[in-house]
Each structure stands twice: as C-alpha cells, then as structure tokens.
Copies of this chain bind each other. A is one copy, B any other.
Amino acid sequence: MIVTIIGLGLIGGSLSISLQQQGLATHRIGVDLSPENRQQALALGLVEEVSTDLGAAVSRADLVVVAVPMDAMLTVLPQVLDVVDQQVVIDVGSTKSMLLAAVAAHPRRGRFVAVHPMAGTEYSGPEAAVAGLFEDKTLVVCDAGQSDADAVTRVEALFTRLRMRIEHLDAGAHDLHTAYVSHISHITSFALALTVLKKEKEEQQIFALASGGFASTVRLTKSSPDMWVPIFRQNRVNVLDVLDEHIQQLQHLRQLIDAEDFAAVYQQIEQANLIKKILK
C-alpha cells in the first residue's frame, strides 16, 4: 500500500513509522510546505520520498493521511478530495464539526473517514515522531455513516493493526468530549505557566524549587501555538463551556479555603480522588 502523508509532524510522522513497522505501508510519500520538515523527514526515514506536488502525491496513493494543523486542514482536505478517485483519505484532526461541515457537500466525501487518534506529546515537528505512539490508545471515528462503507472498514482494520481501540462518535459529541479531556488540560497548563512566570519576574528563586508535580502539571505548556490556536478557534463554544465550569470549580475551592471551611475542602479532594477509579 502506498501511503501519502501530508504534514510531516508529530502525528503524521509517528503514524508513518507505525504503518511501516506493521508492514502496512510499502512506500511512503511525504508532503509538507516546509523544506526543513521535508529534509528532516527524509533524514529520519519517516518517508521514502518527499514531494511538493499535492495532486501527484495523492493520485499515486492508496491511503492519504492529512495531518496538518486544523486551520490548514480546512483548505487542504477539500484540495485532496478534489483529486481523489478510489483512494481512502483520513484526517487526524483534534476538532471535527467545522471540518466535516466544510466537506459535507464534496462529491468525494464518501472516500474520507474522519478519525482522531487520542495520542500525542507536547512536542512537534518531524523529530518529535515516535514509534508506538498509538498503541493501546483510542481512535475516535466520527460520522462514519457519511463515509463509504469500504473506506470505514479499511481504516478501522488498519488502526486495529496499530493496536488502537475504535470508538464511534458524532462530530458534535467528539468536540464536546475532547474539550473536556484534552483541550481544557492545555488551557489550564498554559494558564498555570503564565501564573508562575508572572510571579517569577519578581521572585528569581521560584524555579529552583519546582519538582516533579509542577513539571507534570505544566508539561502540556510546551505545546505549539500553531497546533492549539486553530483548535481553540474551531472548538470555541465547547472550550468556553468547559472553561466556565473549570473557573467555577476553582472559585468554589478558593471560597472554601478563604472561609476556612476545610472539612468541605477535604470532601472536594475526596471527590476529585474518584478519578483514580477511572484513569489508570
């Protein structure tokens, strides 16, 4: 199977590695606007060839993976579908409603399967690509009824080979759920870093004390604005909804601590501890 990967970053690159390791890709063509990314991807062996000719790279492929930031996705995915014949096309995007609306009326819509592998790291670019990123993670397939049945079957078989669990959600539910389990984590992490960085201007010693707990909580702060700003733009309504809920929870804890109602703070922490039962 010839695979064309458009966007040679963390997700596109990691998927390329996995498809090759599982013997699913016989030849991989990489497309990227950045000459540095193309060169690095070749040097790292993420693809066998690179191209800037999107049409030709799509025409030669059996599977096309569009792994660009969500703002570029809105223009690149329709361009890909314009030249698609019987190929299967997937995105790997973090928001779905706006993207699926953008291609809803496209004559080749059926060849496109919207998927979101719930996996990533705080790093970006070709050198961030790693083997095994998708194993034991969830792949969300969105609005599968809008895709040709053969395309859905092929895509699900492929990600099952990469040891992913398949979940089906409509685009609206996907965007709501990811706001809660992914997008908000990034916002709180950015806000926490900004809080501490602001203080650090006054207090030089503060970071000497930072240990593992802090590092873990702000890990996502290293994430790229090029990836995350388009996500916040496209999932704005859900992100605002969860941000309001989160600010309310923080204000509630603040009020309890201010009022020295530590019995209630204890109960809130016990309640939060329940997440142990849910997360590994």
- Return A259 CB to nearest CB of chain B, in Å: 10
A2 at the B interface (CB under 8 A): no
A278 at the B interface (CB under 8 A): yes
Which residues in B have their C-beta under 8 angstroms from that of A216? 185, 216-217, 219-220
- Return A244 CB to nearest CB of chain B, in Å: 7
- Return A55 CB to nearest CB of chain B, in Å: 31
Summarize A's interface: helix, strand, loop or mixed.
Answer: helix
A27 at the B interface (CB under 8 A): no
A76 at the B interface (CB under 8 A): no
**Chain A 227-254 against B: per-residue CB contact (8 Å), 1 yes, 0 no?**
0110011001001101111110111011
Cβ-defined contact, B118 with A211, below 8 A? yes
Cβ-defined contact, B211 with A276, below 8 A? no
A185/B192 contact (C-beta < 8 A), A205-B167, A218-B275 known = yes
Q: Which of A31-39, A103-111, A261-269 contacts B (4 or more CB under 8 A)?
A: A261-269
Cβ-defined contact, B246 with A253, below 8 A? no
A1 at the B interface (CB under 8 A): no
Assembled-state Cα–Cα distance A243/B119 (Å)? 30
- Return A233 CB to nearest CB of chain B, in Å: 5
Assembled-state Cα–Cα distance A187/B62 (Å)? 49
Which residues in B have their C-beta under 8 angstroms from that of A278? 200, 207, 210
Cβ-defined contact, B182 with A192, below 8 A? no
Cβ-defined contact, A193 with B272, below 8 A? yes
For residues 98 through 140 of chain A, which have their beta carbon under 8 Å from a beta carbon of chain B?
118-122, 137-138, 140
Q: Provide 24 A-B residue pairs closer than 8 Å at the C-beta atoms, listed in order of the A residue.
A: A118-B210, A119-B211, A121-B212, A137-B211, A167-B205, A177-B205, A180-B196, A181-B211, A182-B209, A185-B216, A188-B217, A188-B250, A191-B272, A195-B242, A197-B272, A216-B220, A221-B276, A222-B276, A223-B273, A225-B269, A229-B269, A233-B260, A243-B254, A243-B257
